[in-house]
Structure 1
């Protein structure tokens, strides 16, 4: 009898242990890296890459081939990550802006705290919203360079984020080569380094010794990133937490090199993404266990609801992304809508649709090239090399296109054209794909009432009284359908479209007029000649963004003296959004000389922010004028 009792107790204790283990909430380690595309990692098929730690995670976990950032530069991407709300709903799409979100929109770790999690961030925030310090304080138990799981209560479940910046654009291209040598190359052992001749050069860049020297930085910076991640995982192992921790690994957006980061194409959006499950939590994976490759579509909008659900919390109604795993998993989707807007001093607006294979992008400001003036990129040695090669006619037509106006639409077949070399938008064989994706884009933007179709000038004014997120919902204040119909014409060329845009210059709605004149900027001068007087009359539009755009067209095409004066005054405007808009127009105007003194004056103004000063530097730099040689110019 005593023996039977002991057996019964042993079985009972085992069952209780199993039950407790099943109820225990998983620890979650989130490893984010910067500015990286999948094609530079071994687990995604690159045999020249040195990424053994990440490759092993993928070998033992789930690797996703269709994971996308919702933006193409860090702060808008991180805005969606932390809030779970799309930038074109929250108004957070413009890089390092400072617009408010409603108080009820929390950083998602706040909800994990309510479920008993200890949540830490080490250390990057860059959330792109107003009152960021208070937002961070509410979201995290700790957010600093010392934050980690080690400060939680004994046995407390944790969610710990670690951001590695070793693959950031600063490492791969912006910092001087000597800095890279010391801080990247010399931090690697001989067998961890990738030589300048040891990889295949993407066709979007010129094949040359100079370009290889610069591009090798990508491979070595990623190798160093992999090494740092290995050190973190060693600590997780030594703390005996590996067997109870789900590990997420992903990049904040696509590759930091030219054509990637800041550009609304696959190279800017698609990211490496791996999830690793320990044995006790493999039942949470809907994709299977070790070595699985999933083609399921996911994007950063899905992360907040997934983590809240995984922690046991209820997903707030304002979160519209999917729950990717666990008992409350959402159904997969067949397409995603993505977006790209201003980056630093370089304005832009792109909306994209992908089904994983095809990437469709609508360029609303196509007169601005992919290689637009963004000071942080412009100063890099690789961009300077590319510009030199362009000026010396050493680039092929594809490589040249980086510096030239874009078409209104891109359509790329990523499965057969990874580097997006062949635009299929005008190929009749793909007309059905094109139309389907156009419709999907229209449906999403109309449903979301994309608030970023407002000029940033307008978003700034709105933010003084309310949040852009709430403003977009009111049709009386924001008649999105009318505005979108005007914006949809922008970038498209033709006599009939020009006529329609000119007619819209008299519309009662100021934002409709803005989009009409912005669209006319992309029309060839031969279509505009018949409407010269009407365009010049629009210089007097009471709405500053429309007036500045009209002046830009009138000066560029007809050297209108009134337009010249309006542009000079706009550059010096007290409203920095108007100042930046005007300078961006001048950046892509052939005759820059009349504005040199004005731009130098603006650069010296003490109230100008980084973006305006950076735009001034790019303007002067495009003429080979910088502050130290400005006074000695010819």
Structure 2
């Protein structure tokens, strides 16, 4: 009898371990949300109770980074497990009339890995990695179900005339002067339906929300928007009486609108958390929340008003900390301890090998990432990166390296591939105020060597000038 009891316990342990290796994964990606935009990261003006609750129920990372400082290449880094010196998509390259430069068909994506492992895969929100019908469209990159914006340029309008349901173009009853259907609400409705419909088997749900990216738009009469208007005492700025649909829609109350969009995103996250709880899958579901880059200044937004960068230097498009350091929260009640904090210095390319390990799949060949399971589970020693590397192809070309607490930034690379490297010590100068490159030529030399080595030439997105 005792032997049977021992065998039974061992079987339960084995089943438990297997379940932990194959959890559901919900990956929530905010769009242009800064490191300091959440209450759990110090935000004082904007209410984010649900995301704050998520952080309290799991682990909050304080030194985690996006793939780079704009949408498409950052998301390419996320889905490929490669930093932006290696990813096939490294910039926001537009394809007319709709879409962006496609991820090649040969690319092995995170979604393809999950599907190979037997997961149902769904993407709801913004894609931006391949125009409709191209090899880079979501249905060709591992997603069973897609609903939302194919094109990130079109996602600048939250009242678009169409969205995509897999390969089908779905017309909406919106015009620039008659805005009836708020796209984020439609996307959320279908995301929750996917969650409910796939709760009995492993699933990967990628929620690529478009908030709080500009334009700063909300449904008419939105109560949270009205509340922030009163809270800030914001006086309206002059805007055209009618909008022609081109560019960002002008917003008379940009501060209140930005705050309301962050809080609206928080409410969507709360709905997801509530549904996971209702379905009884909390213990078997890993929820990750992060942002694709730092805060934006488009559409009238003033990130300084909210301290959206959390006191760090820079915003979207910068490779200073404010442009690439992002909030990152992971919650999984059966595995991750509540209310914990990690100072692990990681980046988007770490997610692919981490999720591959959870799904029982090999890490992708040539990944730049490291599995962060030891950090998440507090079991075993977490391997550390020797360095982190970023590049950015706009504004003259930029490169950055973090090596321990050293941070190197190089500007104007397209004109001069050997442009000076600014050097900062993040341990004593996290705001990157004092360039100490002259005092540490040996460190500068090491960082310059990493920049030269890690940038692999890409003809579609040239970073450096030709020799």
Per-residue displacement from partner, 1:443-465 (whole Å, max 9, x unpaired)?
A: 3333334315x685xx6xxxxxx
Cα displacement (A) at 1:352: 0.9
CA distance in 2, matches of 1:14, 1:58: 33
**Partner of 2:453 in structure 1?**
447
Question: Which consecutive unaligned segments of at least 5 residues does structure 1 have?
Answer: 172-178, 199-210, 283-288, 368-406, 460-482, 488-510, 513-634
* 5+ residue gaps, structure 2: 95-99, 148-186, 235-250, 299-313
Partner of 1:250: 290
- CA separation of 1:187 and 1:216: change in aligned 2, threshold 3 A: closer
Distance in 2 of aligned mates of 1:128 and 1:440: 36
* Preserved contact between residue 405 and residue 425 of structure 2 (Cα < 8 Å): yes
Tell me the CA shift for residue 241 of structure 1.
Answer: 1.3
Aligned counterpart for 1:108 among listed residues 95, 107, 110: 110
Distance verdict in 2 for CA 1:349–1:366, change over 3 Å: closer
State yes or no: 1:309 paired with 2:354: no
Query: Are 2:273 and 1:233 equivalent residues in the alignment?
Result: yes
CA distance in structure 2 between the partners assigned to 1:105 and 1:268 by the alignment: 27
- Among candidates 342, 347, 363, match of residue 411 of structure 2: 363
2:142 equivalent in structure 1: 139
Corresponding residue of 2:156: none
TM superposition shift of 1:128: 5.3
- Kept in 2: contact 1:75–1:128 (CA 8 A): no
1:41–1:451 Cα change, 3 Å: same
CA offset digits 1:297-340 (Å, max 9, x no partner) = 11111111111121110112222211111589861125311122
For 2:14, the equivalent position in structure 1 comes to 19
1:252 is displaced (CA, Å) by 0.9
Partners in 1 of 2:4 and 2:103 — Cα distance?
56
Aligned length: 379
Match of 1:227, SS? helix
Distance 1:446 1:193, change over 3 A: same
What's 2:390 paired with?
338
In structure 2, distance between residues paired with 1:194 and 1:265: 34
1:501 aligned partner: none
Q: 1:310 to 1:431 in 2, by over 3 A?
A: farther
What secondary structure, in the 3-state scheme, does the structure 2 residue paired with 1:290 have? coil
| 8 A Cα contact 1:39 1:46, kept in partner | yes
- For 1:11 and 1:334, the matched residues in 2 are separated by 44
Q: Which has the higher helix share?
A: 1
Correspondence for 2:163: none
Pairing of 1:474-623 with structure 2 (within 5 A): 511-512=466-467
CA change 1:119–1:292 in 2 (3 A) is same
Q: CA RMSD in A?
A: 3.6
- Aligned partner of 2:77 in structure 1 is 80
C-alpha contact 1:80 1:86 (8 A) present in aligned 2: yes
Structure number with the bigger relative contact order (C-alpha 8 A, sep ≥ 6) is 2
Taking the TM superposition and a 5 Å limit, the aligned residue runs for 1:20-169 are 20-24=15-19, 25-97=22-94, 103-127=105-129, 131-133=134-136, 136-144=139-147, 145=187, 146-147=190-191, 148-152=194-198, 155-169=200-214
Q: Secondary structure at the match of 2:91?
A: coil
Give the SS at the match of 1:220. Answer: helix
Q: Is the 8 A contact 1:112 1:311 kept in 2?
A: yes
Partner of 2:327 in structure 1? 272
TM-score scaled by length of structure 1: 0.53
**What is the TM-score when the length of structure 2 is the normalising length?**
0.70
| Cα 1:103–1:78 shift into 2, 3 Å | same
Deviation at 1:90, TM superposition (A): 3.4
What is the distance in 2 between the residues matched to 1:216 and 1:107? 38
In the alignment, which of 317, 324, 328 is matched to residue 262 of structure 1?
317
> Whose strand fraction is larger, Structure 1's or Structure 2's?
2
Q: 1:303/1:128 Cα in 2 relative to 1: closer, same or farther (>3 Å)?
A: farther
Whether the 8 Å contact between 1:42 and 1:55 is mirrored in structure 2 is: yes
Alpha-carbon offset, residue 293 of structure 1: 1.5
SS at match of 1:55: helix
Distance change (3 Å), C-alpha of 1:166 and 1:448: closer
Contact 1:309 1:328 in 2 (8 A): no
